[in-house]
Amino acid sequence: MKLLLENWRAYYNEDFDLLCERYDKGHLSEKRLIVLWEDSVNREYEELLNEGVMDILAVGYEKGKQLVGKAKAAYDAAAAKVGEWYMNLLNQAWALSQKVKQGLGKVAGVLKGAYQKVSAFCEMHPIICKVTKFLIMMIAVAAVMALFSSEAQAAIDTSGVAGRPEGAQLSDLGVDVIKGMLQVASEDKDPEAQKVFVDAFNWLEQAHASETIEQLATSTDAGAQKVRQAMELISKMHKETPDDNLISGFANIGEKVVVSTTRYTESILNHGEYSFKSIEFQSLKVR
């Protein structure tokens, strides 16, 4: 049994180490690294299923303790194998969290998915599962920090917004995500409500292009306040449900958002006579 676990550990650590080595040498992009790692995690879990390991553990911890003989040995071996796989996964997730930046949310999402798959395992090893919850939360928080951080000099200081540290600045990706969120939130709103989102978009555009630093947390501009609300909301969503697809979805929309002007004429019948009123309003559209 010990030899089996050692072979298992050596094989999958080698697989993961090779991926990291290729990434470090520039042969893999960050996105590709995480995709291949997720594929590896799913493949390993499928092998556990195919070997019947999860079926053995399905009897539950309390019944497992009461087993005897070969049944007990099989149960203990299955628990040990899942435990080994799970600890490798935790180590890999932690290692990736030290390497990647924009893909942190995906790392947390993969770890959360694995946690949900083997939740019954937590009865046997509650400490490991507590560590997992903490690690998921920590990586998710780091993902939000990376999302709204810029290594280059930016024009929007986000210190104090959504838990951002002193000196934090909004990244280009963060700008696109907020733009996308503003557009999605503004859909099907009346012209007066649309104006609020347009003002927020315009403030974000101007502040991001400004030569002076804008303080998002203390700005009294109505547009800045809406931007602040959008940033806090996306941060909360990403912490609760780490998902890079959510972020990339908003960012893809945000890259294409423009201010569109709608004009139309409204006719008004009053005492048998028509009068005409020209109406114009702006809204956020995806080009």
Between residues 165 and 263, which one has the greater pLDDT?
263
User: Is residue 12 pLDDT above 70, yes or no?
Assistant: no
**Residues 50-90 pLDDT 10s:** 888 877 777 766 777 777 888 888 888 887 888 788 888 88
Is 80 within 8 Å of 5 (Cβ atoms)? yes
At 109 the pLDDT is 80
Is 230 within 8 Å of 161 (Cβ atoms)? no
At 141 the pLDDT is 61
**Residues 113-155 pLDDT 10s:** 887 777 766 766 676 677 676 667 666 666 666 666 655 445 7
* CA separation for the pair 269, 12 (Å, rounded): 77
User: Is residue 265 pLDDT above 90, yes or no?
Assistant: no
Q: SS3 of 238, please?
A: helix
**Residues 185-205 pLDDT 10s:** 898 888 888 999 999 999 999
Is 194 within 8 Å of 212 (Cβ atoms)? no
Residue count of the chain: 287
**Residues 170-190 pLDDT 10s:** 888 888 889 998 999 898 888
Is 251 within 8 Å of 184 (Cβ atoms)? no
What phi and psi, each to the nearest 5 degrees, are found at residue 27? -85, -15
Percent of the chain with pLDDT over 90: 13
Q: What is the mean pLDDT of residues 236-258?
A: 80
Transcribe 154-212 into DSSP letters: -SEE-TTSTTPPTT-B--HHHHHHHHHHHHHHHTT--HHHHHHHHHHHHHHHHHHH-SS
Q: What is the mean pLDDT of residues 245-249?
A: 77
At 182 the pLDDT is 92
At 149 the pLDDT is 60
At 11, the pLDDT band (50, 70, 90 cuts) reads: very low
Q: pTM of the entire structure?
A: 0.55
